[in-house]
Amino acid sequence: MSAKHIPVLAETLLQWISIGKDAVFVDCTLGHGGHAYLISKKLSSSGMIIGFDVDQKSLDYSADVLAGAECRVALVKSNFCRVKDNLHRLGQAKADLIFADLGFSSGQVEDPDRGMSFQNNMPLDMRLNEDIEITAADIVNTAPEEELADIIYQYGEERASRKIARLICQRRQHQKITSTGQLASLTARVVRTGGKQHPATRTFQALRIAVNDELGVLEKLLQDAPEILKPGGQVAVISFHSLEDRIVKQNFKENKQAGIYEIVTKKPLTASEGEVRENPRSRSAKLRIAKRV
């Protein structure tokens, strides 16, 4: 496993989950395989890891990471909203542990082909999957002002959303907004953060969520999870912003009230001071776990 890649809340996850040697572990967001690698150490040849990712580069990387695993490994290029269908296709309809890490690696954010970073000037794209037809530039240059403001407010929780949308619409009348640098400089004209974060952070988050339908995909996974899990199986989700965390919290609560789940983590688990020092991106991570009754 690459020394540069540090899986978030990995030790915390291992402490709180219950997984046998012959378990089926479904990693919905395989990434660089950090969490899957650690889980593989707990599985025998009877166990299985099924990993999903929309990024072929991540799948190839993880294939190398998991090459020496004793357990069976199946890696699938697919969005995790289709986990249930893909498991049926693999002949493995049930799982002991479903896991999703909703964060992004620095490699993904900094990849010039993805157009996600406001730190570098690159084409304004933001698609995680090349099969998605609409880019962030399409939204920025064609969405009505009110719709654009709603996207930035609802998905970015940006209080200056209407000012940003108005400025974008004024600019695009004269010049298309095609790069991350253009958008970042526009938002910086109206957003004041006091230096705590970049002025474009929330706007970029909002557009990325909209382009990739991230919240809809998460809701579909959580909807399917009870059907996928074996009795006693667990679902564990690491979220990085309040929108995701609220969706996970509400889903677990509703399933508990319906007698489907027991909530394992009464409050979300967060990174220790030591982990935050070693891996700053873990600062905003929250882990919630529920158990299938």
Give per-residue pLDDT as tens, 106-150: 555 555 555 556 677 899 999 988 889 999 999 999 999 999 999
The per-residue pLDDT for 168 is: 98
Q: Which pLDDT score, from 0 to 100, does residue 131 have? A: 84
For position 18, what pLDDT does the model report? 94
First and final C-alpha spacing in the chain = 35
Predicted pLDDT of residue 24: 98
pLDDT reported for residue 120: 75
pLDDT of 192: 84
Q: What is the pLDDT of residue 130?
A: 80
* Ordered alpha helix ranges (H), 144-236: 145-156, 161-172, 180-188, 201-212, 214-228
Please give the annotated binding residues, written as ranges: 33-35, 53, 80, 101, 108
Instruction: Tell me the DSSP string of 128-147.
Output: SSTT----HHHHHHHS-HHH
Q: Which residues pair with 76 in a beta bridge?
A: 52
When pLDDT is cut at 50, 70 and 90, the band that residue 195 belongs to is low
Architecture of domain 10-107+214-292: 3-Layer(aba) Sandwich (3.40)
- Binding site for S-adenosyl-L-methionine: which residues? 33-35, 53, 80, 101, 108
Do domains 10-107+214-292 and 111-212 share one topology? The answer is: no
46-86 residue pLDDT tens:
999 999 999 888 999 999 999 999 999 999 999 999 999 99
Question: Can you tell me the mean pLDDT for 22-38?
Answer: 97
Strand (E) or helix (H) holding 110:
helix 106-110
Choice among 12-26, 36-50, 125-139 with the minimum mean pLDDT: 125-139
The pTM assigned to this predicted structure is 0.92
Mean of per-residue pLDDT scores for the chain: 93
- For the chain, percent helix, then strand, then coil, each to nearest 5? 45, 15, 40
Query: Residue 234 pLDDT > 60, yes or no?
Result: yes
State in words which class domain 111-212 has.
mainly alpha
3-state SS assignment for residue 269: strand
| pLDDT tens sequence across 238-286 | 999 999 999 999 999 999 999 999 999 999 999 999 999 999 989 999 9
How do the domains of the chain map onto residue ranges? Answer: 10-107+214-292, 111-212
- pLDDT for 147: 98
What the block records as the tokens of 228 is 């996928």
Whether 240 contacts 103, CB under 8 Å? yes
Query: Exposure pattern of 187-196 as b/e (b: 16+ CB <10 Å)?
Result: beebbeeeee
- The rounded percent of the chain whose pLDDT value lies above 70 is 92
Residue 2 has pLDDT above 50, yes or no: no
